[in-house]
Structure 1
Amino acid sequence: MQSTSSQEFIAAMRTVASSVSVVTTDGDAGRYGATVSAFCSVSANPPTVLVCLNAASTITAKVQDNRAFCVNVLPDHASYIADRFAGRHDTFVQDRFEGMDVTGPDFGPVHGLAGATSLQCQLTQAVLEGTHLICIGRVTQIALGSEMPLTYLAGQYQTSVPTKAAMP
């Protein structure tokens, strides 16, 4: 079997559009959030999703300790939130949540960032693969957004535009 280099893999993944999400967590281990693009559904019955988090990142330890996370799929006008939670403002904003319009129950992850679709989850399984931890979560609460999602493609934020379905 032929192996693929990391550089080839990264170049290939830059051609795949994905939604931009902020994963948040809150609990005994503390509140934290980070921007991710590796998120997908696993099952509708029971409702389950997965997110991939860099194993060396702060959020990974907090999600594992809190046993809960929330996936906030950002609307297309929220690139500033994506930048904030990607750490691009960390030098001048100590708390990534500072000034954010967030809501959430006392017992769990923060959700409701700028009209995002939010899926609150209980961590059911975590699998280490390479540099990332695959976090599988049972969805316990949903807040639906009504806007098109922010996407990421070729190293840039993008917006999606609906197209007409092809006629049969």
Structure 2
Amino acid sequence: MSALDPRTFRNTCGVFATGVNVITTHCDGHDHGMTANAFMSISLDPPLIAISIAEKARMLEKIQKSGRFAVSILASGMDAIAWHFAGKPNGELRDLFDELGGLPVIRGAVATFSAIVHEEIIAGDHTIFVGRVEALAADETAEPLMFFKGKFGALENTRKAPASMLQIETELMW
């Protein structure tokens, strides 16, 4: 079996539209953050979420040391904040954080989660942190910042999903 070209793999994964998140923690008396799109919910009972951090990212050891992390799902228009935490600092940005469960979260985010590390899984060149959610908050009126094919964007033409999978199945049969 031939090896996949890493750039082709990355570009192909890039056609999966995702939200944009800032992962944060508090370690050694300082708040730390990084932009990521690798976030997902895992379980309702117990409430678990997961993030994926590259082995070369400075955030990896900070989360390992603190044993906690927070996720802020950025709102549409927060491009500058996403770039700031993606390694392109913007000195004009001020007063970015609120606190949730003792961790820094981005003020004005669509949703925020504070979690304690439940499990750590090494997967290739990344570490997946499964976190047990301790606190959360959401602004149900805000729209998320999206990432698609290497670009930021916003949702368009959103439609409410059917109330249940049964309703979807019924609609598809007709």
Q: What is the number of equivalent residue pairs in this alignment?
A: 162
Deviation at 1:165, TM superposition (A): 5.5
d(CA) in 2 for partners of 1:32, 1:139: 19
Q: What residue identity is the alignment partner of 2:15?
A: T
Deviating beyond 2 angstroms after TM superposition, the runs of 4 or more aligned structure 1 residues are 1-5, 27-30, 112-116, 163-168
**C-alpha contact 2:110 2:143 (8 A) present in aligned 1:** no
Structure with bigger helix share is 2
Alignment match, 1:110: 104
Deviation at 1:58, TM superposition (A): 1.1
Q: Secondary structure at the match of 1:62?
A: helix
Alignment match, 1:54: 54
1:102-159 CA-to-partner distances (Å, cap 9, x unmatched) read 1216x73202422331000001111111221111100000011231111100000010
d(CA) in 2 for partners of 1:101, 1:4: 39
Structure with bigger strand share is 2
**C-alpha contact 2:22 2:106 (8 A) present in aligned 1:** no
d(CA) in 1 for partners of 2:32, 2:160: 39
Q: What residue identity is the alignment partner of 2:34?
A: A
Give structure 1 stretches of 5+ with no counterpart. none
TM-score, with length taken from structure 2: 0.83
Q: What residue identity is the alignment partner of 1:46?
A: P
1:141-156 equivalences under 5 Å are 141-146=135-140, 147-156=142-151
Give structure 2 stretches of 5+ with no counterpart. 163-167
Over aligned residues, Cα RMSD in angstroms? Answer: 2.2
Q: Which has the larger radius of gyration?
A: 2
1:12-161 equivalences under 5 Å are 12-28=12-28, 30-89=30-89, 93=91, 99-104=94-99, 108-146=102-140, 147-161=142-156
CA spacing shift, 1:28–1:103, aligned 2, 3 Å = same
Mean CA deviation greater in 123-132 or 63-72? 123-132
CA spacing shift, 1:4–1:110, aligned 2, 3 Å = same
d(CA) in 1 for partners of 2:22, 2:95: 13
d(CA) in 2 for partners of 1:108, 1:67: 12
CA spacing shift, 1:164–1:124, aligned 2, 3 Å = closer
Q: Percent identical across equivalent pairs?
A: 24
